[in-house]
Amino acid sequence: MKKIFCTIILLIVVLSTFAQHEGGIANEEKNVFMQKQWRVRVFAGYSIGGTAPLPLPREIRGINGYNPGFGYRLGVAVQKLFNGSRWGVETGLYLENKGMTTYADTKNYHMEAWNSDGKVVGAFTGKVKTKVDNKYLTLPLLCTYDASVRWSFSAGAYFSYLLDGEFAGRAYDGYIRDQNPTGEKADVTRAYYSFGDDLRKFHWGLQAGCEYRFYNKVAASASLQWGMNSIFHSGFGSVTFDLYPIYATLGLTYLL
């Protein structure tokens, strides 16, 4: 929680420095925008982030590589301002993708995996490559605040439905011990895994963001989504810690 709090403070600091630079949008336009009670925008953005355990478990001894992959968000947002107020509410629908590839070193990483007739249980020490590529349909519920004609902020929650998910990778250059750290030891050059079928369908989290309007109808946007439940079903044994998607999205919005 402390980390979440720090992040929010940081965001506010960063955004407030930007907010000081308010250029000139003609007064007439300003009024049109500010007085519009219903705003409908479409947007497209690039997402970068990670699906990570927090804090990192002690079994993970190092991160050797990270590739954000091609994360995108396409969406439509409907905003309603309260009468005569800078405050409003917003919802919408996003088609988004949260992915990454990581390369990690592990020590005694407990793993369980089911197959048709049995269950593999072991402790793996070595290298693990993980590729996550999850496609979601997301509904946000946000409060908004117009700080100025150029700047507006939003914060709230989001609810996602998994359309298509991949969580796969390989374990390599290490060894596995049967059942637990005292079991028979076998060197592993390469073993593949895929847990896409065990991903949770419904997922939710917190979202905060801002927009900077640099033309009348066009704005740059940035937002952060912080997952509040693990991407796997609870009780899923193959990955014994919870993995939370934490993704930032940068993009452009267009006011219809």
Partner 1 sequence: MYLVSIFLVLLHILRINTVMNKNLLLYALLVALLFPSCIRDEALNSECDIIDVDSEWLDSVGSAIIGKPIISNYTVVFVVKEGVDASLFTPRFILTKGAKIMKDSISYNGESGVVQHYTTYSEDGKWSKRYDVYYNASTIISKDKVFDFEHYALDNTGRYNVWFEVDEYGTQRNIWASGNAGYAFTGQGDTAADFPTAANENGVSGSCVKLTTSDTGIFGQLAGMPIAAGNIFLGEFNSGSAMKEPLRATRFGVQMVPAKPLYIKGYYKYKSGEVFTDKSKKVVPEKRDTCAIYSVLFEVDPENPVPLNGENVTSSERIVLIAELKNHVESDEWVEFEIPYEYINNKQFDYDRVANNGYAITFVASSSKGGDFFEGAVGSTLYVDEVTIVWEDK
List interacting residues with partner 1 (CB under 8 A): 3, 7, 10-11, 14, 17-18, 21, 48-50, 52, 55-63, 107-108, 113-123, 175-193, 220, 222, 224, 246-248, 250
**CB closer to partner 1 out of 164 and 173:** 173
CB of 37 to partner 1, least distance (A): 30
Instruction: Give the separation between CA 30 and CA 149, rounded to whole angstroms.
Output: 6
Whose CA is closest to 239, among 139, 142, 104, 136?
Answer: 104
27 Cβ contact list (under 8 Å, min separation 6): none
Torsion, Cα of 52, 55, 58, 61 (10° steps): 50
Which residues are CB-contacts of 31 (< 8 A; sequence separation ≥ 6)? none
Is residue 198 within 8 Å of 146, Cβ to Cβ?
A: no
Q: Which is nearer to partner 1, 82 or 114 (CB)?
A: 114
Give the nearest distance from C-beta 200 to partner 1 in angstroms: 21
Which lies closer to partner 1 via its Cβ, residue 81 or residue 188?
Answer: 188
**Shortest distance, CB of residue 80 to partner 1, whole angstroms?**
27
Q: Give the pairing of strands 71-81 and 118-146.
A: unpaired
CB of 111 to partner 1, least distance (A): 11
Nearest to 64 by CA among 22, 10, 103: 103
Kindly tell me which of 163 and 183 has the beta carbon lying closer to partner 1.
183
Closest CB 152 distance from partner 1, rounded Å: 16
Pick between residue 2 and residue 35 the one whose CB is nearest to partner 1. Answer: 2
CB-nearer residue toward partner 1: 40 or 56: 56
CB of 83 to partner 1, least distance (A): 33
**97, 105, 96: which is closest to 130 by C-alpha?**
105
For residue 246, give the nearest of 51, 28, 5 by alpha carbon.
51
